[in-house]
A and B are shown apart, each in its own frame.
Chain A
């Protein structure tokens, strides 16, 4: 998931890093520690810990990688290797609403690329991976979402929307401010 993060969020990224506040304090720390007994090693909590960071901050910054490494007794280099392996972790800030359109063959033959075009047009993102100027949206193509019988499936944040057509796109976007 590469692409230009856009001017607004990149600036936000710098600010974020300068005034970094730890994620794993209070209830978030407690949520992570509740997972420890479920696995024989601390390292096994790495994927869940990264999910918590992303839920709290919207993306996983270099400082957050350092914090996760410290909390789980790993090196930052190892954590970064894991973060960059999995496509759902954002390594740069994205729009408030992150839109993933499935374009793998089963959806592709049902017109998924037209759905992508509609999202790029109506969000003002212009190109894949870029964030709209108002910081509201980022659109990417995603490989198979596992809902091929309901082409075209689109994942907006945590909302899994089935059977999206170009015509439905403007109406769907109204639900995401």
Chain B
């Protein structure tokens, strides 16, 4: 539900049903609300049976990439010759995204249950939950929830009397966006700088400490218990437009809407409904200008593109952007697109791990050129230069951080060129001071 707002009739709260209900944080409270049934059922199934259910549900990764979850799990070796690990990605840092934080804050047992089911499915005994360092309150809540899980038999050497061992270790990050990238996260857990690794080898072959590893996002794992309890067919049926995108999705809506928050809707819900109905539309006297729909790493959308956009993986691609993490940044007509694109470029320049030249130099130069334009010192060739830089930053590096910097820049120049030209032609007053 659109916490902190009451649930809207167009929402379908599954994962978010107990947001705002602190009583759901303990094992006892979670069981009272129907929790841990999914884990108990999974423990009665073989690894392959659990994977088949999740495959059949159509669940895809909610962290941004949208990779089919069951398929990812099936890449883990059948024979356990080395320890297998599950890593839960709770490093939510993508600008515009704040859904995992609510899942952890209100329903930590839902997450632990999903983690335990996934661990069972991939043959892992140990789960590392990597939570970003800034989530101080959520770290405390999750620490208490894990302790409670051990006390009440949901974790430890004999999970719910099954004889199965499942352990959870919380690993706290220390301020690095890039650690949300799965191979950087593994390096960070190993006590290293969070530099992404070259793939292959893929984590399922050689991940944490060169052992087979699966990394899943918080929201993906939180959906799993519901699929076990209510069935793959039920989950597959949660779909309004296209059978490749199933289930519910939490959209974090922020920026210039009347009621920002997390809204859980069925895949395929019209974007218009979310922005203008559930979120209450724009502030009085303001009109919609642009939307970045999937966290800051995806292309910006115009009003025309928002108009008839179905919110699922394919629907948003059809409108020139991506679903990403579902972090939706809504901007009204008071927004200076050039300035905000500069802020995003500055974000990526700050967060680049600096391994790859294209990213280290590209994000920094993109920021400097945008600052120059905003300072009224832009040159006629600057937009061509930005596009050329962006081309060199796309598809040429170890991870996609530099692509993520290029996407908003290229799409903004393409779709809001007039705003750049206004600074370049000295038709608009500079908003920054030339360095």
Contacts and interface: CB of A to CB of B under 8 A. Distances in A.
Mutual binders A and B: yes
Interface of A: 38-41, 43-48, 50-51, 72, 74, 81-82, 85-89, 100, 103-106, 108-110, 142-151, 155, 158-160
B261 A149 contact: yes
B174 A144 contact: no
Contacts of B136: 155, 158-160
Given A41-B209, A158-B136, A149 B189 contact: no
B95 interface: yes
B190 A43 contact: yes
B340 interface: yes
Contacts of B351: 143
A148 B329 contact: yes
Nearest to A38: B169
Nearest to A49: B191
Contacts of B191: 41, 43-47, 72, 74, 82
B356 to A, nearest CB: 15
A104 B95 contact: yes
Contacts of A47: 171-174, 188, 191
Closest 7 pairs between A and B when the two form their complex, measured CB to CB = A46-B191, A88-B175, A86-B174, A148-B254, A87-B175, A149-B260, A43-B191
Nearest to A47: B174
A155 B134 contact: yes
Nearest to A78: B192
Contact of B253 (A43, A146, A147, A149): A149
Most chain A CB within 10 A, of B83, B350, B353, is at B350
A148 B97 contact: yes
B331 interface: yes
B161 interface: no
A157 to B, nearest CB: 8
5 contacts: A72-B191, A144-B347, A146-B132, A148-B255, A149-B253
Contacts of B190: 41, 43-44
Contacts of B189: 39, 44
Contact of B209 (A40, A81, A88, A155): A40
A128 B26 CA distance: 41
B194 A85 contact: yes
B347 A105 contact: yes
A109 B177 CA distance: 21
A31 to B, nearest CB: 13
A103 B174 contact: no
Contacts, number: 140
B134 A88 contact: yes
Nearest to B279: A149
B92 A146 contact: yes
A106 B98 CA distance: 11
B143 interface: no
Nearest to A145: B134
A105 B296 contact: yes
B176 interface: yes
Nearest to A157: B136
A148 B191 CA distance: 29
Contacts of B253: 149
Nearest to A51: B172
Contacts of B256: 109-110
Interface string B108-130: 00000000000000000000000
A90 to B, nearest CB: 11
A144 B171 contact: no
Nearest to B344: A105
Nearest to A42: B191
Nearest to A147: B98
Nearest to A44: B191
A89 B97 CA distance: 24
Interface in B398-431: none
